[in-house]
């Protein structure tokens, strides 16, 4: 992309006109809408699993949220440092992956215990706990890769990362959860 074709980074949202703000944000939100519809389709593919194990549905919001929250923390700090040109991708990647694994293990264990107490089912508890642990470990990696790619492609990572990472992370979280639950509960 030529220098003149680069999308400008919005420096001060308070000074920009509304049409420019909409122009920069709208495409990423459309990606989010399309991704959300994709998530609905993905969930519908596991209707029988959810019907036979309705308790799984109760944990979808917390598994998706916790992975997204870890990713949001990672990408927010990384983008701040990316804009200040204080980034070392490989160092961030290793550090954030370790942090995700540790947080995933802690919250996965806690979520598994809560699932067990609620449903008195070890398979349900394992499905919830393992899914939480894995999705929280993966989230920081996605949260680092996306803004790095956007910056490299001369897109504003502050605007594009949130919606794009959220869609990717939500998709991965649901897929991991449904696959683990299928392996544990139906086999």
Per-residue pLDDT tens for 34-78?
Answer: 999 999 999 999 999 999 999 999 999 999 999 999 999 998 888
Question: What are phi and psi for residue 88, nearest 5 degrees?
Answer: -135, 95
- Alpha helices per DSSP H over the chain: 18-44, 47-52, 55-83, 89-119, 122-152, 157-185
Contact 108, 129 (CB under 8 A): yes
How far apart are alpha carbons 181 and 175 in whole angstroms?
A: 10
Mean pLDDT of 75-97: 85
Q: How confident is the model at residue 4 (pLDDT cuts 50, 70, 90)?
A: very low
Question: What are phi and psi for residue 183, nearest 5 degrees?
Answer: -65, -40
The Cα diameter of the chain in Å comes to 61
**Both ends of the chain: CA-CA distance in Å?**
50
114 Cβ partners below 8 Å, 6+ apart? 128
pTM: 0.85
Per-residue pLDDT tens for 123-168?
Answer: 999 999 999 999 999 999 999 999 889 888 888 888 888 888 899 9
Sign of the CA dihedral with 97 first, then 99, 103, and 105 last = positive
49 Cβ partners below 8 Å, 6+ apart? 56, 178, 181, 182, 185, 186
């Amino acid at each position: 992309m030529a220098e003149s074709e680069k999308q400008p980074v919005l420096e001060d949202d308070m000074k920009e006109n509304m049409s420019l703000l909409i122009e920069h944000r709208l495409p990423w939100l459309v990606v989010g809408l399309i991704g959300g519809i994709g998530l609905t389709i993905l969930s519908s593919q596991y209707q029988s699993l959810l019907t036979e194990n309705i308790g799984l549905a109760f944990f979808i919001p917390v598994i998706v949220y916790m992975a997204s929250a870890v990713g949001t923390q990672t990408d927010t700090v990384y983008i701040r440092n990316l804009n200040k040109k204080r980034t070392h991708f490989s160092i961030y990647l290793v550090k954030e992956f370790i942090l995700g694994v540790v947080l995933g293990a802690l919250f996965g264990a806690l979520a598994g215990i809560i699932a067990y107490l609620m449903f008195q089912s070890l398979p349900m508890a394992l499905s919830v706990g393992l899914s939480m642990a894995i999705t929280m470990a993966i989230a920081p990696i996605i949260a680092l890769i996306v803004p790095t790619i956007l910056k490299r492609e001369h897109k504003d990572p502050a605007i594009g990362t949130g919606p794009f990472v959220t869609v990717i992370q939500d998709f991965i979280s649901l897929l991991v959860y449904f696959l683990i639950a299928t392996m544990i509960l139906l086999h």
